[in-house]
């Protein structure tokens, strides 16, 4: 079977990870990645063997790459012309602009969670609505936070039949490689109440009732969610059985904070580096076993989200959904994870 030809438009924090993940699969290939101009990212692409394109079609821009010693194969149009599907990893809110280009080129397209649901009218999360996305022209992989909620709440919902959730998101303020953003010594509440994060889960699983509040704090490592989920009567669950359920859930890792000495996000990230994950990433959602507690029908738990990486495998599954090559989300997830968990599984 022919490999799916994937273009990566924007080779930055997310794009470079998606490119490696695509490259690791046996049913797809990277036909090109794009950059705005010469930089260390071009060198990285060159060393990895990904053909380099410019994010625009301006000839002056395209020519500028050679000044840095890089070979640029052409503009975005040239890249789209050889692709079956494009993963949009452009920063900011360039969605509407890019969407028209993708549509004009007749190329399927996957946006990231920085764009709104309304851009494509369709969103994606592997365990929530893979089937709904089969053969669609374009969609949006939901944000790192929404993906994290989907991972632990969807199986809970499927067991219980209904769910009412409140979540407080304690967000890291900047990526590890970002040195411009603050606050250095403050807590910043997101004063839009409830915050948009909870609602966003309903774009892929409208049956889950959820609200959220958010604050930003001065750390570069992982978001943390404190979650309160009200289960319906007769749910039949216990603290232990919830933990067991998540142990059997793909892309959720349950470890014990005290016993494993993983009591903060710093130690969780060190563990990800220990097991040899690329970039020290942890695409699984991390749940502290000793932080889960069911009190009557109210479930309390903490989870940590690795912002740069939890959506990476979702993009791979999403490519298969849009291309219609794998209708079963569980099969796709297993295939994706086997290919990218290069060192070993948790």
Question: Which residues fall within 8 angstroms of residue 287, CB to CB, at 6 or more apart?
Answer: 152, 243, 246, 252, 253, 254, 255, 301, 302, 303
Question: Taking CB under 8 A as the rule, does residue 257 contact a copy of itself?
Answer: yes
Nearest C-alpha neighbor of 169 from the set 229, 220, 213, 217: 213
Q: Are 149 and 301 in contact (CB under 8 A)?
A: no
The one catalytic residue in 42, 54, 144, 318 is 144
Q: Among residues 61 and 278, whose Cβ is nearest to a copy of itself?
A: 278
Instruction: Enumerate residues 197-226 that contact a copy of itself by CB under 8 A.
Output: 211, 213, 215, 217-222, 224, 226
Q: Among residues 101 and 225, whose Cβ is nearest to a copy of itself?
A: 225
Q: Are 84 and 107 in contact (CB under 8 A)?
A: yes
Structure tokens at 251: 């892309």
Q: Among residues 180 and 234, whose Cβ is nearest to a copy of itself?
A: 180
Q: Among residues 174 and 323, whose Cβ is nearest to a copy of itself?
A: 174
Question: Taking CB under 8 A as the rule, does residue 181 contact a copy of itself?
Answer: yes
Instruction: Enumerate residues 41-60 that contact a copy of itself by CB under 8 A.
Output: 44, 47
Least Å distance, CB 171 to a copy of itself, is 9
- Residue that the structure tokens 């809970």 belong to: 156
Give the count of beta carbons closer than 10 Å to the beta carbon of residue 1: 6
User: Residue 334 and residue 143: Cα distance in Å, rounded?
Assistant: 21
Question: Taking CB under 8 A as the rule, does residue 26 contact a copy of itself?
Answer: no
89 is catalytic: no
Stretch that binds a copy of itself, among 125-133, 137-145, 299-307, 321-329 (CB under 8 A): 299-307
Q: Please state the φ and ψ torsions of residue 209, each to the nearest 5 degrees.
A: -85, 120
Q: Please state the φ and ψ torsions of residue 319, each to the nearest 5 degrees.
A: -60, -45
Question: Taking CB under 8 A as the rule, does residue 183 contact a copy of itself?
Answer: yes
Among 258, 327, 331, 334, binds a copy of itself (CB under 8 A): 258
Catalytic residues: 144
């Amino acid at each position: 079977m022919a490999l799916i030809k994937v273009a990566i438009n924007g080779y930055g924090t997310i794009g470079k990870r998606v490119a490696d993940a695509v490259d690791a699969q046996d049913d797809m290939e990277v036909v090109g990645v794009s950059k705005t101009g010469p930089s260390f990212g071009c060198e990285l692409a060159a060393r990895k063997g990904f053909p380099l394109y410019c994010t625009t079609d301006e000839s002056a821009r395209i020519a500028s790459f050679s000044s840095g010693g890089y070979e640029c194969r052409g503009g975005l149009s040239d890249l789209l012309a050889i692709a079956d599907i494009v993963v949009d990893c452009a920063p900011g809110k360039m969605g509407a602009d890019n969407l028209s280009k993708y549509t004009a080129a007749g190329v399927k397209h996957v946006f990231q969670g920085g764009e709104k649901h309304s851009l494509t009218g369709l969103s994606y999360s592997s365990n929530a609505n893979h089937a709904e996305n089969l053969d669609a022209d374009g969609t949006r992989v939901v944000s790192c936070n929404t993906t994290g909620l989907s991972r632990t709440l969807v199986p809970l919902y499927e067991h219980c039949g209904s769910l009412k959730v409140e979540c407080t998101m304690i967000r890291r303020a900047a990526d590890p490689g970002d040195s411009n953003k603050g606050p250095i010594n403050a807590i910043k509440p997101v004063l839009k109440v409830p915050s948009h994060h909870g609602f966003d889960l309903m774009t892929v699983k409208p049956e889950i009732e959820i609200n959220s509040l958010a604050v930003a704090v001065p750390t570069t490592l992982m978001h943390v969610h404190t979650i309160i989920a009200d289960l319906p009567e007769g749910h039949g669950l216990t603290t232990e059985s919830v933990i067991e359920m998540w142990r059997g859930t793909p892309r959720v890792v349950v470890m014990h904070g005290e016993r494993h000495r993983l009591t903060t996000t710093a130690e969780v990230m060190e563990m990800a580096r220990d097991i040899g994950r690329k970039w020290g990433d942890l695409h699984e959602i991390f749940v502290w076993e000793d932080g889960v507690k069911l009190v009557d029908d109210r479930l309390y738990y903490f989870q940590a989200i690795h912002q740069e990486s939890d959506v990476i495998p979702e993009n791979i599954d999403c490519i298969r959904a849009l291309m219609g090559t794998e209708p079963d989300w569980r099969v796709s997830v297993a295939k994706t994870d086997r290919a990218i968990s290069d060192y070993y599984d948790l």
